[in-house]
Amino acid sequence: MERLQKVIANYGICSRRKAEELISKGHVTVNGKLVTTLGTTVSDKDIIEVDGERINKEQKEYILLFKPRGTVTTTHDDKGRKTVMDYIETDKRVYPVGRLDYDTTGVLLLTNDGELSNMLMHPKAEIEKVYIAKVKGILSGDEINRLKRGVVIDGRKTAPAKVKVQKVDKKAQTSIVEITIHEGRNHQVKKMFERVGHDVLKLKRERLAFLDLKGLKSGEYRYLKIKEVHQLYMLAKK
């Protein structure tokens, strides 16, 4: 027996958080009966329906996308903006693992494996995310050390980060900085740099765990190898 929201997420319908919302709002039935109580457990024999559609276990799919700038990290957008799904051809109901801002580019993983998605996004997994940021101004040694130790954003201090200045343009007064974090807070990298007095002009996620953009151009994607999926599970379980 497993919790209903976990089963829905594992079937690739949506994230666990979204599944909880669907249950609470009365979109889910089990064996023909409406279920709105979170924590309800079900078995493999139970018939689960979301908005009247019976859910079926799909073959798992894992996609690595080089997310372009000016793209929303969601499966659909009410404002009619381009989403990451516009770059992918699949008949599976995959969804993004985490988010990248509208104007942020780089590595984005999409899957219908709800279990892996939840594991990767859980703070305890401490999955490394490597970003390259072009920022205004030249960072001082003190500012770099503050970023490394962690800065307070939205009332909470960030975890220690790895920071390396790759290039400085004194004439343009800009810096190219590599920063590695393992949290996934909203607009985190931009807010961290703003906290030490430097606005982010461009931001790209170069790596997620061991997954990088090698062989991909902006807007292109590839499927993960079985070995890579196993590696992600091993990292997430640590």
Pick the catalytic residue from 44, 51, 86, 101.
101
Terminal Cα-to-Cα distance of the chain (whole angstroms): 25
The token pair at 115 is: 């279990």
Separation CA 191–CA 55 (nearest Å): 40
101 is annotated as an active-site residue:
yes
The token pair at 48 is: 């689960």
Q: Which residues contact 93 (CB under 8 A, 6 or more apart)?
A: 12, 13, 58, 112
Q: Is 9 exposed, middle or buried (0-12, 13-18, 19+ CB in 10 A)?
A: buried
Q: Phi-psi category of 71—alpha, beta or left, where left has phi over 0 and alpha has psi -120 to 50? A: beta
User: Which residues are identified as catalytic?
Assistant: 101
